[in-house]
Amino acid sequence: MSGVRVYNERLLELGLTLPGFVDRSEVIASLPSLGLLTLAAHTPAHWKVIYKELDNYSDGDINEIAEECPDIVAFSSLTARINEAYSLTSVFKKYGITTVIGGLHVSALPDEAMKIADCVIQGEGEIIWETLLSDYENNMLKRYYSSLSNPEYTFRFKDVRVPKYEILDISKYNRLTIQTTRGCPLHCSFCAASRTISTYKKKSMVQIESELNKIFEVWDRPFIELADDNTFVDKAWSKDLLKLFGKYKMKWFTETDISVAYDDELLELLAKSNCAQVLIGFETSKASGLKGLDRSDWKYKQFDNYLKAIDKIQSYGISVNGCFILGFDTDTKDTFIDTEEFIKVSGLSEVQITLLTPFPGTDLYKQLKAENRLLDEHYWEKCTLFDVNFIPKNFSVEELEDSFQKLMSTIYSADAVKERKRKFREIQRNRKKYSLYESI
């Protein structure tokens, strides 16, 4: 269950008319669940596996699954759809089907999930899955399996299998995902993905090559989206990755921090490997907003290089999708004006703005909970990145919503989107030789 419904009605209406916003939302909603495809690969051959996406589902879809009489239904869901996943869990239990749930949200709150599902997987499912199925067959299924609290289930990437892409109806997708790294060493206070499931780890080139080869067996000209949190942390490993990607006819996309801009060789390889776009979390247009954001203040120390880094990466013909978060305690009304100005001046080819969201499991969640600033106890369906879930410091909730909506209208207006695309096309046309660019 991957798609997300925005709750704020005004924003919902607005979003439907904003081209830049809709494009990215559609891409995210149409990605298959790499976690479930990976579990399918770890399922012994005497089991039959069916993969279903319940983004927009009807009673007919549920009946169709129930009529297959599965022994187990396994769910993967993000926080924003977790309540729906819990409801469906209850529905399948009524059919006498065993339900298993895993993923980011339940890894942060396993006790909550255990009240509903028959079995909860906390952390990395690959190492647990075969044991869980064998326990089921022997009538010994446990309520809870954890790779985070049980050293017996320590997972290494060398043991991962190639996801079962072949069970997808490939005609339904415009992108496929592979994961080359998991986790991120930076530890930003609002970031759940970087460590809830695993500490930072990288796959070997041999494994990544096998995954790419499998994708090319089912799709000859794929667009690949890396399901990584921060791909280019290890520069030597990254260069091997880019050399490998350069051998394949594919366009691809990933998420990174701005350190790529400091390595000319890496940028050159990135351009030659047909990278279409990198998404970078700049987080804010104000240096003060970055202070204390990650544990070593790494992002704060990079702030003065932001504009030069964007310029440099894009000069290699690689589009930068810049992400900004609004609602930090350091934000004031001026932050919205500064963000709009920063986006204009930066020449970013694409932009994402989101509201600060306290996902369970993050330092931000713990901080706001301790300060009694969460608006509800179980606000999960509003963890959309576009709904306010906490009491902001320098705004009322309504003021933050209003300012955010105004900024959305400005930066995602048809003219603004067109202008960003025009500027980027101009950069691509005028691309100079890589060697002309100075190091930052």
Q: Which residues bind ligand SF4 (CB under 6 A)?
A: 184, 186-188, 191, 194, 229-230, 257, 281, 294
The H or E element containing residue 226 is strand 223-226
CB half-sphere exposure, 175, CA atoms < 13 A: 20
User: What tokens does 313 get?
Assistant: 């990466």
User: What tokens does 288 get?
Assistant: 């003060």
Q: Which CB, 186 or 250, lies closer to ligand SF4?
A: 186
One-character DSSP codes across 88-141:
HHHHHHHTT-EEEEESHHHHH-HHHHHTTSSEEEES-SHHHHHHHHHHHHTT--
Can you tell me whether residue 181 is helix, strand or coil? strand
Give me the least distance between CB of 186 and ligand SF4, in Å please. Answer: 4
- Do 395 and 328 touch, CB atoms closer than 8 A? no
Give me the least distance between CB of 166 and ligand SF4, in Å please. Answer: 30
Give me the least distance between CB of 330 and ligand SF4, in Å please. Answer: 17
Q: Which CB, 8 or 259, lies closer to ligand SF4?
A: 259
- DSSP state, residue 232: T
DSSP-derived pairing of the beta strands 275-283 and 181-182:
unpaired
Q: Which CB, 35 or 281, lies closer to ligand SF4?
A: 281
- Do 184 and 229 touch, CB atoms closer than 8 A? yes
Give me the least distance between CB of 343 and ligand SF4, in Å please. Answer: 19
Strand partners, 253: 225, 277
Cα–Cα distance measured from residue 339 to residue 349, given in angstroms and rounded to the nearest whole number: 15
Buried b (16+ CB within 10 A) or exposed e, 184-193: bbbbbbbbbb
Q: Which CB, 184 or 271, lies closer to ligand SF4?
A: 184
Give me the least distance between CB of 200 and ligand SF4, in Å please. Answer: 9
Strand partners, 374: 390
Strand partners, 223: 251
Give me the least distance between CB of 197 and ligand SF4, in Å please. Answer: 12
Q: Shortest CA distance to 1 belongs to which of 96, 130, 70, 101?
A: 101
- Do 122 and 107 touch, CB atoms closer than 8 A? yes
Give me the least distance between CB of 323 and ligand SF4, in Å please. Answer: 9
CB half-sphere exposure, 351, CA atoms < 13 A: 30
Give me the least distance between CB of 329 and ligand SF4, in Å please. Answer: 17
Q: Shortest CA distance to 155 belongs to which of 137, 133, 182?
A: 182
Give me the least distance between CB of 326 and ligand SF4, in Å please. Answer: 15
User: What tokens does 203 get?
Assistant: 């796959």
Give me the least distance between CB of 230 and ligand SF4, in Å please. Answer: 4
Q: Which CB, 248 or 300, lies closer to ligand SF4?
A: 300
User: What tokens does 214 get?
Assistant: 């499998």
Q: Which CB, 157 or 359, lies closer to ligand SF4?
A: 359
DSSP-derived pairing of the beta strands 181-182 and 201-202:
antiparallel
Give me the least distance between CB of 369 and ligand SF4, in Å please. Answer: 20
Q: What are phi and psi of 117, to 5 degrees?
A: -85, 160
